[in-house]
Structure 1
Amino acid sequence: MSIVDYSVEYPSTELQGFYGWTDTLRGIQYGPGSVSTALPKFFKLLGVSKALVLTGKSLYEKTDVVKKVEGCLQAIDAYGATFHQIAQHSPIAGIREASKVFTDAGCDVIVSVGGGSPVDAAKAILYYLQQERGGETMPQIAIPTTLSAAEYSIGAGYTDDSGKKVAVSSQKLAPAAIILDAELTLATPENLWLSTGIRALDHCVENLYRPLIPPPLKVMGLSALADLFKYLPESKADPTSVEIRQKLQIASWMSLWPLKLEKYSALGLSHSLGHKLGAAYSIPHGITSCLTLAPVVELMAEIGTEQDKEYLAKALFYLHKPSTGTVEGDVLELSASIKQLVADLGLSTTLTDYNVPRDDIPTIARNTLGTETHPVFPKVVKLLEGLY
């Protein structure tokens, strides 16, 4: 997946454009304790009868979250099976095994529980089952326990047998229903919770310069950005506050509001770098955003269009910070603020910490941009060098 070609002029969405909801998403239920009432409601709404619960090993073995979901399903006689071997970055082996369990148990819906990996794995399973069987894509009900926001997109990334990141995309892959129950996030490890909050912040920021995003969604992203800056430190200080966690789940939703674009539009350089680094070096996506977001915003002060920079500069108003007096200066101040937030959350890290060889930098930059002849290739190489 390549980033946006900044040398191409895209039509401005300031005065013209299109916005539509996804074809699939039928509802989002949010609130502490909502899972017990939301699951029966969504099963009736979707007309489904038996679920595969899809999750990861740690969540299954070290918490009671999955047991609570299984209990809710058993109460309405809708439990089929559980597959709990979905690993980080959704390896294809787990997807194949889970597909077999889904089929053998006679399931017609996946209930994903956890972070972006089970959500994306569910999308991949349903995508390939539809390719194999034909007919309509079967639905997913997503119950996120992190802030990664994977449940709001129509695409899925997984890791193939060679370790490369593979993407599938379809309007039908957006989860049919989402349950935001902050009580289920209390067992999420602190670093995972907070780093996926930076991932949500990455969505907010990159939607400000993502092509084809209409102005109302950019403003929503700015509002979510402000909430993430406010509530992530508060959640670190008081990790048992369900109210703060619920506010963060809503901010995550606002960071990547479900939408239907008329054509594909990549998020941006920070995400693209994160995809390449995450898959190749087993770096969690939340951590990749901790590494790349602030430096990419700094680079945008130099390479972004005037409209891109103006939107980034607006973030200071939402953060209650005074303007520096120039648009470029304001963008640099946003970059510094993001870097400070990452540090305050105890999430500062380097590529050295993840054993990424310096000799790999040109390859990472080339894989991200698609070619070494891309006009920003030297700048991306320099950016990566600064992550050590």
Structure 2
Amino acid sequence: MSIVDYSVEYPSTELQGFYGWTDTLRGIQYGPGSVSTALPKFFKLLGVSKALVLTGKSLYEKTDVVKKVEGCLQAIDGYGATFHQIAQHSPIAGIREASKVFTDAGCDVIVSVGGGSPVDAAKAILYYLQQERGGETMPQIAIPTTLSAAEYSIGAGYTDDSGKKVAVSSQKLAPAAIILDAELTLATPENLWYHISSIALQHRLMIYRLSTGIRALDHCVENLYRPLIPPPLKVMGLSALADLFKYLPESKADPTSVEIRQKLQIASWMSLWPLKLEKYSALGLSHSLGHKLGAAYSIPHGITSCLTLAPVVELMAEIGTEQDKEYLAKALFYLHKPSTGTVEGDVLELSASIKQLVADLGLSTTLTDYNVPRDDIPTIARNTLGTETHPVFPKVVKLLEGLY
């Protein structure tokens, strides 16, 4: 995966470009309790008959979310099997095993339930099944219970046998349908939503939930300087950014509010609005760093954004193009904060605001907490940028040093 070279000024800032939906997305159903009516609707719309439910171990064993989805499928005679061994960062072993279960059970659709790992694993499974079956396209219905927004992209990241993050992408991999049912997030563990005893589990779920909200914020911010993003989507991202700043703390204070959770799911959708791109790539430097840190050191995606987003925005005040910095500076208006008087100052203020939000949510952490050796910093920077000769390599090394 590569990132944009932000040290180089683009030759033109004229408004020009193209917008299109992903090829596969047929619909998004949203609202509390909507899963029971949405699944029959999408089964009919997609012409499918039997589903593999794909999820993770914790969600399957320690909540009732997957059982609810299985029950909805059984009610329409559409349940085939459940595979619940999808781990963080979607290891290839689980993808291979799930592919076999899908085939053996005679399934023709995957219903992914959970965060980014099940959604991405479903894309990877369908990608390899398409290769095996000569291009035959099979759909995914995504039911996210976190705010990671993986369901809105055409790409999937998974971890290969060597522990490296690998990406596959195709217009055919984007979910064909998405169900945003906030009631199903109530059982989500808390770092996963923003991410043993019952209290400890609920605290862990809360952290997970909230940390994925910072992941959605990462989408909003990096789309402001990601090339080929149409201006209306940048404005939508700014609006989503404002909602995430508002509703994440409210959700932490009142974790049982379905209304607040539904608003956060909509904000996550707005943070990575479906877009037709020819090739999947990391959004920007924060995401690229997150991919390398997450796969190599088992750091959840949401937590990597808690680590990297604010420092990357601070760096953008120095290396971003004028257009990039102007978009970032606009965030202060959406956060109802006064301008500092300069574009660079406004970008730095945004960075400080993100850092404060992470702290207020109880999500502040360090690379030391995840046992990342300091000696690995040059390797992480090189793997992120592709080469040590990249113009911003020394700055990325310095950024990583500041995460301890």
Aligned match for 1:320, one of 319, 324, 336: 336
**Aligned-residue offset at 1:15:** 1.6
Cα contact 1:141–1:178 (8 A) shared by 2: yes
Q: Matched residues in 2 for 1:105 and 1:13: separation?
A: 53
**Aligned-residue offset at 1:8:** 4.3
Cα contact 1:210–1:265 (8 A) shared by 2: no
1:302 aligned residue? 318
Q: Against the structure 1 CA distance between its residues 192 and 265, is the aligned structure 2 distance closer, same or farther, given a 3 Å change threshold?
A: closer
Q: Matched residues in 1 for 2:385 and 2:117: separation?
A: 24
1:17 aligned residue? 17
Q: Matched residues in 2 for 1:264 and 1:54: separation?
A: 23
Cα contact 2:7–2:392 (8 A) shared by 1: no
What pairs with 1:110-125 in structure 2 (closer than 5 Å)?
110-125=110-125
Determine helix, strand or coil for the equivalent of 1:191: coil
Q: Matched residues in 1 for 2:56 and 2:282: separation?
A: 28
Cα contact 2:171–2:278 (8 A) shared by 1: no
What pairs with 1:142-221 in structure 2 (closer than 5 Å)?
142-193=142-193, 194-221=210-237
Deviation by residue 1:84-109 (Cα, 9 ceiling, x = unmatched): 00000000000000000000000000
**Aligned-residue offset at 1:149:** 0.2
Cα contact 2:2–2:281 (8 A) shared by 1: no
Q: Matched residues in 1 for 2:130 and 2:8: separation?
A: 35
**Aligned-residue offset at 1:74:** 0.3
CA RMSD of aligned residues (A): 1.0
Cα contact 1:32–1:242 (8 A) shared by 2: yes
Cα contact 1:13–1:213 (8 A) shared by 2: no
Q: Against the structure 1 CA distance between its residues 14 and 218, is the aligned structure 2 distance closer, same or farther, given a 3 Å change threshold?
A: farther
**Aligned-residue offset at 1:11:** 5.9
Q: Against the structure 1 CA distance between its residues 132 and 2, is the aligned structure 2 distance closer, same or farther, given a 3 Å change threshold?
A: same
Deviation by residue 1:106-128 (Cα, 9 ceiling, x = unmatched): 00000000000000000000000
Cα contact 2:329–2:343 (8 A) shared by 1: yes
Q: Against the structure 1 CA distance between its residues 264 and 242, is the aligned structure 2 distance closer, same or farther, given a 3 Å change threshold?
A: closer
Cα contact 1:227–1:248 (8 A) shared by 2: yes
Q: Matched residues in 1 for 2:121 and 2:65: separation?
A: 19
Deviation by residue 1:357-383 (Cα, 9 ceiling, x = unmatched): 000000000000000000000000000
**Aligned-residue offset at 1:134:** 1.1
**Aligned-residue offset at 1:136:** 2.8
Q: Against the structure 1 CA distance between its residues 225 and 314, is the aligned structure 2 distance closer, same or farther, given a 3 Å change threshold?
A: same
Cα contact 1:212–1:265 (8 A) shared by 2: no
Normalization by structure 2: what TM-score? 0.95
Q: Matched residues in 2 for 1:292 and 1:65: separation?
A: 31
Runs of 4+ in 1 over 3 A off after TM superposition: 7-14, 262-266
Aligned match for 1:287, one of 281, 285, 303: 303
**Aligned-residue offset at 1:4:** 1.2
Which stretches in structure 2 are left out of the alignment for 5+ residues? 194-209
Q: Matched residues in 2 for 1:205 and 1:268: separation?
A: 9
Determine helix, strand or coil for the equivalent of 2:191: helix
**Aligned-residue offset at 1:213:** 0.6
Cα contact 1:13–1:215 (8 A) shared by 2: no
**Aligned-residue offset at 1:265:** 5.4
Cα contact 1:144–1:151 (8 A) shared by 2: yes
Q: Matched residues in 2 for 1:7 and 1:270: separation?
A: 16
Aligned match for 2:247, one of 226, 231, 249: 231
Q: Matched residues in 1 for 2:390 and 2:113: separation?
A: 39
**Aligned-residue offset at 1:137:** 1.9
Q: Matched residues in 1 for 2:62 and 2:11: separation?
A: 49
Larger deviation, residues 324-333 vs 184-193: 184-193
**Aligned-residue offset at 1:9:** 4.4
Cα contact 1:114–1:145 (8 A) shared by 2: yes
Deviation by residue 1:246-274 (Cα, 9 ceiling, x = unmatched): 00000000000000135655410000000
Cα contact 1:197–1:286 (8 A) shared by 2: yes
Determine helix, strand or coil for the equivalent of 1:190: coil
Determine helix, strand or coil for the equivalent of 1:199: helix
Q: Against the structure 1 CA distance between its residues 176 and 367, is the aligned structure 2 distance closer, same or farther, given a 3 Å change threshold?
A: same
Q: Matched residues in 2 for 1:148 and 1:367: separation?
A: 23
Determine helix, strand or coil for the equivalent of 1:324: coil
Deviation by residue 1:173-196 (Cα, 9 ceiling, x = unmatched): 000000000000001121111000
Q: Matched residues in 2 for 1:204 and 1:238: separation?
A: 24
Larger deviation, residues 360-369 vs 12-21: 12-21
Q: Matched residues in 2 for 1:197 and 1:313: separation?
A: 21
Deviation by residue 1:69-96 (Cα, 9 ceiling, x = unmatched): 0000000000000000000000000000
Q: Matched residues in 1 for 2:13 and 2:274: separation?
A: 17
1:349 aligned residue? 365
Determine helix, strand or coil for the equivalent of 2:323: helix
**Aligned-residue offset at 1:6:** 2.1
Determine helix, strand or coil for the equivalent of 1:375: coil
Q: Against the structure 1 CA distance between its residues 264 and 37, is the aligned structure 2 distance closer, same or farther, given a 3 Å change threshold?
A: closer
Cα contact 1:18–1:261 (8 A) shared by 2: no
Larger deviation, residues 3-12 vs 181-190: 3-12
**Aligned-residue offset at 1:135:** 3.1
Q: Against the structure 1 CA distance between its residues 129 and 36, is the aligned structure 2 distance closer, same or farther, given a 3 Å change threshold?
A: same
Q: Matched residues in 2 for 1:13 and 1:147: separation?
A: 32
**Aligned-residue offset at 1:3:** 1.4
Normalization by structure 1: what TM-score? 0.99
Count of aligned positions: 388
Percent of pairs with identical residues: 100
Determine helix, strand or coil for the equivalent of 2:148: coil
